[in-house]
């Protein structure tokens, strides 16, 4: 829905006064209206998510001010000692001595320090994740048990790599991070079909050998997530698709078709996973769920939007609001014309969609309450680029741009989009681009750790070669890291002796 029709809908719903001229931020008007307390919103979870957001965001936002303070006092006699104390007080860690020692004569290497601090703040977040995320896991609306009750043993989610979707799972979908949920982001949600067939095969083999408790009769669900911006559709949509919403949606849908075809053609009719297509309005975190028909086919034209549901159910009690969501899905399901599908949604999928729509209402109200109804920065504001494999320890909007890849050659498009974004965010302001190269290994597999390190080194070298000018100008900082899939080693930094950050 565009802004104008949203405003019209709000007027009809009574949440926007008739006499109001077009306000700069439609959702703010809801804040002014005391009826904004929706019966289906989990306020306790919202409070916990806000605590999480504040704590994690604080680790990154303190970096620039801390560096400015250090820059001011670099001529003091006891600079190194003082700098370490300031860093400990404000950031919770000490800085590398080699970046401070010569500051009095050659100046502070702010770019290198900025990159180093960004990596270290991320590392702290990873180390603290079990504490930070515990309150969320205990309260999230959609947990692994719920996913299984809908008939799915695995949710394989491919959002766009855009940092604005980094909070997708705990915030937008209100799902607890758990073993059944896999997130692999690609620019434009254009996930890798071959890699997905491999992932699907692994999970199916796991299921068939009894490795997934309770998953014997369950299915695999692949979800592609595209995004758009209702406030500035031509500029703040998906960069990978030139902010063209229709192309973003149709490209993601085409990948889902291709994945199903790939698995059916290889493993036989009926083997394909179920699929779901979801759009996210990154200005307000509302979702658009495309409804699969009886055959599992998805249409670009058959969908339900959570923001509309939020408006329509604002004054209702919980039972009426749930009935309304159910009705909205049923109406869209039986739509005629372009949106017409072949038969109703399968019961498990229906249950999943209904709960997802309900859970997202909490996020809509979260954005209303904590971000004035629409994010202040509706565009990019990421802190670093993560390439390789993502970790679940940091799930917050606009923290990092993620490019899932095994080699830079195959992930070149995703990397280029990321570098373009950071040219505007960092390089234009004199800072560099921090790139974290991260891979997992399995401690069950002999030699896997060493191979993961080798892979890190290969990808790092390829990134530095691809963006050689940035690298030579000290505008690109790569940090390598590895994590064990099974043990406790998480995000261990791998140092490169000959090329430490700042040297
Ligand atoms: Zn995108």
The pLDDT tens digits for 260-270 are 999 999 998 88
The torsion angles phi and psi of 186, rounded to 5 degrees, stand at: -140, 145
pLDDT at position 302: 94
Which of 109-123, 137-151, 265-279, 297-311 shows the lowest per-residue confidence on average (mean pLDDT)? 137-151
Question: How many angstroms is it from 376 CA to the middle of ligand 1?
Answer: 19
| Start and end residues for every CATH 3.30.1330.140 domain found in the chain | 384-494
Distance in Å from the first CA to the final CA of the chain: 51
The pLDDT, as a whole number, for residue 278 is 98
Query: Looking at the chain, which residues constitute the CATH 1.20.120.1310 domain(s)?
Result: 43-132
How far apart CA 35 and CA 25 sit, in angstroms, is 17
Confidence (pLDDT) at 1: 42
For 384-494, CATH gives 3.30.1330.140
Q: What separation in Å is there between the alpha carbon of 239 and the centre of ligand 1? A: 5
Q: Is the model more confident about 331 or about 488?
A: 331
Collapsed DSSP state (helix, strand, coil) of residue 56? helix
For residue 306, the CA-to-ligand 1 centroid distance in Å is 20
Q: What is the pLDDT of residues 5-17, one digit of tens each?
A: 444 444 444 333 3
Q: Is 162 a catalytic residue?
A: yes
Q: At residue 101, what are phi and psi to the nearest 5 degrees?
A: -55, -45
Q: How far is the CA of 164 from the centre of ligand 1 (A)?
A: 9
Structure tokens, 156 = 């394989």
- State the pLDDT at residue 384: 94
Predicted confidence at residue 469, as pLDDT, reads 96
> Does residue 204 sit in helix, strand or coil?
helix
Share of the chain above pLDDT 90, in %: 65
CB 93 within 8 A of CB 63: no
Residues pairing with 279 in the sheet: 226, 288
Centroid of ligand 1 to alpha carbon of 189 (angstroms)? 7
**With 50 as the cut, is the pLDDT of residue 188 above it?**
yes
Confidence of residue 316 (pLDDT cuts 50, 70, 90): very high
Strand arrangement of the beta sheet that strand 476-484 belongs to: 400-404, 384-388, 433-441, 476-484, 492-494
Q: Which of 118-132, 138-152, 319-333, 447-461 has the lowest mean pLDDT?
A: 138-152
Residue 11 has a pLDDT of: 40
Strands of 229-285, DSSP E: 274-281
CA of 242 to the centre of ligand 1 (A): 9
What are residue 163's phi and psi, to 5 degrees?
-60, -20
Beta-carbon contacts of residue 109 (< 8 Å; ≥ 6 apart)? 99, 474, 502
CA distance 49 to 53: 6
Residue range 43-132 forms a domain whose CATH class is: mainly alpha
| Distance between Cα 240 and ligand 1 center (Å) | 5
Residue listed under structure tokens 């099974």: 486
Buried b (16+ CB within 10 A) or exposed e, 267-282: eeeeebbbbbbbbbbb
Q: In terms of C-beta density within 10 A (0-12 exposed, 13-18 middle, 19 or more buried), how is residue 19 classed?
A: exposed
Q: Quote the ligand 1 centre to 89 CA distance (angstroms).
A: 37
Q: Distance (Å, rounded) from C-alpha 230 to C-alpha 9?
A: 14
Whats the size of the chain, residue-wise?
Answer: 503
pLDDT of residue 400 exceeding 50, the answer is yes
Rounded to whole angstroms, what are the CA distances from 198 to 159, 193, 202? 18, 9, 6
Distance CA 166, CA 391 (A): 11
Q: What's the whole-number mean pLDDT along residues 485-490?
A: 87
- CB count within 10 Å of CB 70 equals 22
- Whether 110 shows a pLDDT value over 50: the answer reads yes
Give the model confidence (pLDDT) of 123-142 as tens digits: 999 999 999 999 998 888 88
How far apart (Å, rounded) are the C-alpha atoms in residues 91 and 59?
6
| 428: helix, strand or coil | helix
What pLDDT, on a 0 to 100 scale, did the predictor assign at position 500?
A: 44
Nearest to 363 by CA among 118, 166, 172: 172
Residue 155's H or E segment, with its range, is strand 152-159
Can you list the positions of beta strands (E) in 251-315?
Answer: 274-281, 286-290, 303-305
Copy the structure tokens of residue 190.
Answer: 């254009």
424-482 pLDDT, tens per residue? 899 998 999 999 999 999 999 999 999 999 999 999 999 999 999 999 999 999 999 99
- pLDDT surpassing 70 at residue 312: yes
Picking from 152, 241, 143, the residue whose alpha carbon sits closest to that of residue 189 is 241
Chain CA centroid to CA 355, Å: 20
Catalytic pick from 162, 199, 245, 414?
A: 162
Give residue 159 CA to ligand 1 midpoint distance, Å.
8
SS3 39: coil
- Report which of 37, 52, 41, 211 is spatially closest to residue 138, judged by C-alpha positions: 52
The answer to whether residues 57 and 370 touch, using CB atoms and an 8 Å cutoff, is: no
pLDDT in tens, 198-244: 999 999 998 999 888 888 889 999 999 999 999 888 888 998 898 99
The Å distance, Cα 30 to ligand 1 centre, comes to 28
SS3 152: strand
Residue 36 confidence class, pLDDT cut points 50, 70, 90? low
How far does the centroid of ligand 1 lie from the alpha carbon of residue 222, in Å? 18
Structure token pair of residue 449:
């750790």
How far away, in angstroms, is 398 Cα from ligand 1 center?
12
Q: How far is 361 from 38, CA to CA, in rounded Å? A: 8
pLDDT digits (tens, 9 = 90+) for 351-374: 999 999 999 999 999 999 999 888
CA of 223 to the centre of ligand 1 (A): 15
Which DSSP string corresponds to 312-362? Answer: HHTTS-HHHHHHHHHHHHHHHHT--GGG--SSPPPHHHHHHHHHHHHHHHH
Find all residues with CB under 8 Å of 202, minimum gap 6, and list them.
none
- Lowest-confidence range among 52-61, 129-138, 155-164, 371-380? 371-380
* Residue 257 CA to ligand 1 centre (angstroms): 19
């Amino acid at each position: 829905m565009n802004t104008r029709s949203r405003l019209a809908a709000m007027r009809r719903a009574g949440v926007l006064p008739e006499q109001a001229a077009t306000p700069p931020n439609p959702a703010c008007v809801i804040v002014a209206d005391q009826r904004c307390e929706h019966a289906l919103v989990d306020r306790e979870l919202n409070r916990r998510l806000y605590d999480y957001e504040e704590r994690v965001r604080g680790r990154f936002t303190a970096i620039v001010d801390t560096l400015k303070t250090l820059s001011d006092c670099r001529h003091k006699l006891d600079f190194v000692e003082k700098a370490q104390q300031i860093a400990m007080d404000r950031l919770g860690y000490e800085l590398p001595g080699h970046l401070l020692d010569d500051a009095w004569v050659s100046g502070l290497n702010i770019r290198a320090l900025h990159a180093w601090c960004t990596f270290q703040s991320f590392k702290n977040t990873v180390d603290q994740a079990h504490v930070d995320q515990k309150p969320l896991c205990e309260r999230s609306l959609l947990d692994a048990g719920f996913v299984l009750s809908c008939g799915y043993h695995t949710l394989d989610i491919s959002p766009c790599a855009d940092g604005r979707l980094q909070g997708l799972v705990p915030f937008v979908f209100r799902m607890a991070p758990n073993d059944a949920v896999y997130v692999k982001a690609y620019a434009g949600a254009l996930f890798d079909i071959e890699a997905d067939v491999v992932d699907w095969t692994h999970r199916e083999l796991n299921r068939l050998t009894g490795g997934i408790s309770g998953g014997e009769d369950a299915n695999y669900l692949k979800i592609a997530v595209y995004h758009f911006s209702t406030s500035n559709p031509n500029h703040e949509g998906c960069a990978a698709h030139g902010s063209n919403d229709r192309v973003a949606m149709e490209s993601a849908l085409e990948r889902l078709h291709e994945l199903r075809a790939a698995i059916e053609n290889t493993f036989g009719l009926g083997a394909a996973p179920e699929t779901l297509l979801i759009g996210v309005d990154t200005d307000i975190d509302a979702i658009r769920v495309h409804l699969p028909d009886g055959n599992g086919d998805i249409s670009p034209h058959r969908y339900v939007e959570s923001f509309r549901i939020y408006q329509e159910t604002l004054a209702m009690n919980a039972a009426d609001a749930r009935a309304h969501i159910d009705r909205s899905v049923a109406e869209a399901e039986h739509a005629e014309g372009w949106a017409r599908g072949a038969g109703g949604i399968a019961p498990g999928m229906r249950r999943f969609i209904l709960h997802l729509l309900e859970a997202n209402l909490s996020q809509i109200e979260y954005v209303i309450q904590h971000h004035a109804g629409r994010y202040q920065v509706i565009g990019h504001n990421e802190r670093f680029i993560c390439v390789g494999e993502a970790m679940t320890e940091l799930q917050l909007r606009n923290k990092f741009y993620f490019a899932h890849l095994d080699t830079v050659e195959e992930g070149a498009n995703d990397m280029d989009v990321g570098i373009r974004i950071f040219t505007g965010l960092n390089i234009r302001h004199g800072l560099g681009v921090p790139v974290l190269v991260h891979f997992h290994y399995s401690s069950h597999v002999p030699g896997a750790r060493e191979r993961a390190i080798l892979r890190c080194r290969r990808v790092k070298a390829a990134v530095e070669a691809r963006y050689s000018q940035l690298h030579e100008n000290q505008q690109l900082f790569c940090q390598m890291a590895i994590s064990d899939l099974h043990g406790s080693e998480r995000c261990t930094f791998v140092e490169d002796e000959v090329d430490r950050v700042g040297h």
